[in-house]
């Protein structure tokens, strides 16, 4: 089959409705209209972008790149930048919650269709770590820069230094300090990290992930989000996966790499995400006290998502339409 035909846009309506497999096995409830999304899965619908959580502005920004025929790598960078600049998101970029000493430290990575990867960890004072990660990928012989070195590189590349601690995040931190006993927080509510996967009209996939990490973490703590294979993994022959939640657990199971490898072996994105979560809950009896959520997208444009606790979901922009999809979860009721 000709590549162009293979990638041809398909209609969401039509014969496929009779077959009625959902485009994903996620619980595909559209929140606003509360209707089931069904599609003809025999055809591929590209371009498409999916992201952790309900990030409307981010998927819109990514879609604006994709609909003009832009590359997936540009789409995921632009999408992640939208969250990094949003001071209301306390888990990403400017306005992100600081560590327990009051310093905002950011982790971000990006991975392209050639399997190249760039990342920064524990970087301060720069609003857009995802763009610095891209510079690491494209302008250096390295893949990962940390701390002061990452910040210095960013400044050399023309990024401006800025205070990332907003009045609101400073106030919240000061409040936390009163009762915290200086203990880093591990809970299921500290979320809103963005992991994003996109396929462009050429059928190529890229991904990015960006976070300020766990709120009030220990100084120097690095989570999964910027670590290749954990918070993100892309293989342009298979698809991609990304993670949100308790980074330590994702790191220990190399979650995103695992999910991509499972898809390579024939699992659907949904099955692969479920297995990724299963690895964590079977090895950690404490799993009720933290959240992990995965999103996966294969090269056919099929996606899946799964998490430990209810409350996780993914945003998607495809075929000019934006939707939010609630994820099914290992634990069925809120604990």
Give the footprint of ligand SD4 on this chain (CB under 6 A). Answer: 91, 191-193, 211, 213-214, 223-225, 244-247
What DSSP letter does each residue of 71-83 carry, written as one string?
-HHHHHHHHHHHH
Query: Which C-beta is closer to ligand SD4: that of 318 or that of 327?
Result: 327
Give min distance, CB of 104 to ligand SD4, in A. 13
Give min distance, CB of 11 to ligand SD4, in A. 35
What DSSP letter does each residue of 151-174 carry, written as one string?
HHHHHHTTPPP-----HHHHHHHH
Query: Which C-beta is closer to ligand SD4: that of 99 or that of 204?
Result: 99
What DSSP letter does each residue of 230-258 carry, written as one string?
TTEEEETTTEEEEEEE-HHHHHHHTHHHH
Active site residue 244: no
Dihedral sign of CA atoms 164, 166, 171, 172 in order = negative
Burial of 107 (0-12, 13-18, 19+ CB in 10 A): buried
Query: Which C-beta is closer to ligand SD4: that of 71 or that of 226?
Result: 226
Query: Which C-beta is closer to ligand SD4: that of 52 or that of 268?
Result: 52
Give min distance, CB of 191 to ligand SD4, in A. 4
C-alpha distances (whole Å) from 10 to each of 45, 98, 241 are 5, 45, 23
Query: Which C-beta is closer to ligand SD4: that of 54 or that of 157?
Result: 54
Give min distance, CB of 224 to ligand SD4, in A. 5
Q: Which residues pair with 53 in a beta bridge?
A: 314
Query: Which C-beta is closer to ligand SD4: that of 109 or that of 126?
Result: 109
Give min distance, CB of 207 to ligand SD4, in A. 14
Q: How far apart are CA 102 and CA 110, in angstroms?
A: 27
* CB crowding 278-294: b at 16 or more within 10 Å, else e: ebbbeebeebeebbbbb
Catalytic residue among 105, 193, 244, 253, which?
193
E strand segments, the chain: 48-52, 106-111, 117-123, 144-146, 194-199, 205-211, 232-235, 239-245, 292-298, 303-307, 313-318, 321-326, 328-329
Give min distance, CB of 39 to ligand SD4, in A. 29
Q: Could you give the residue numbers annotated as active site?
A: 193
């Amino acid at each position: 089959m000709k590549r162009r035909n293979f990638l041809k846009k398909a209609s969401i309506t039509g014969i496929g409705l009779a077959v009625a497999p959902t485009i994903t096995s996620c619980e595909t409830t559209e929140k606003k209209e509360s209707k089931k999304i069904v599609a003809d899965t025999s055809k591929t619908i590209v371009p498409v972008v999916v992201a952790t959580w309900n990030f409307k502005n981010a998927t819109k920004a990514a879609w604006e790149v994709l609909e003009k025929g832009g590359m997936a790598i540009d789409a995921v960078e632009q999408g992640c930048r939208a969250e990094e600049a949003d001071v209301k998101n306390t888990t990403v970029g400017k306005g992100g919650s600081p560590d327990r000493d009051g310093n905002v430290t950011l982790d971000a990575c990006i991975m392209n269709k050639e399997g190249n990867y760039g990342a920064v960890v524990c970087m301060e004072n720069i609003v857009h770590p995802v763009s610095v990660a891209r510079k690491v990928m494209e302008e250096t012989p390295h893949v990962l820069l940390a701390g002061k070195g990452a910040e210095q590189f960013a400044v050399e590349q023309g990024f401006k230094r800025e205070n990332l601690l907003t009045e609101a995040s400073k106030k919240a931190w000061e409040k936390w300090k009163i009762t915290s006993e200086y203990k880093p927080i591990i809970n299921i509510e500290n979320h809103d990290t963005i992991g994003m996967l996109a396929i462009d009209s050429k059928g190529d996939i890229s991904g990015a992930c960006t976070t300020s990490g766990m709120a009030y973490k220990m100084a120097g703590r690095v989570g999964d989000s910027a670590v290749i294979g954990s918070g993100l993994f892309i293989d342009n022959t298979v698809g991609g996966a990304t993670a949100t939640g308790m980074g330590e657990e994702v790191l220990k199971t190399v979650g995103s790499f695992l999910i991509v490898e499972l898809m390579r072996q024939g699992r659907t994105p949904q099955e692969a995400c479920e297995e990724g979560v299963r690895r964590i809950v079977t090895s950690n009896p404490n799993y009720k006290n933290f959240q992990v959520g995965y999103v996966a997208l294969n090269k056919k444009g099929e996606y899946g998502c799964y998490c430990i606790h209810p409350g996780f979901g993914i945003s998607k922009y495809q075929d000019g339409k934006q939707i939010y999809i609630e994820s099914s979860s290992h634990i069925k009721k809120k604990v």
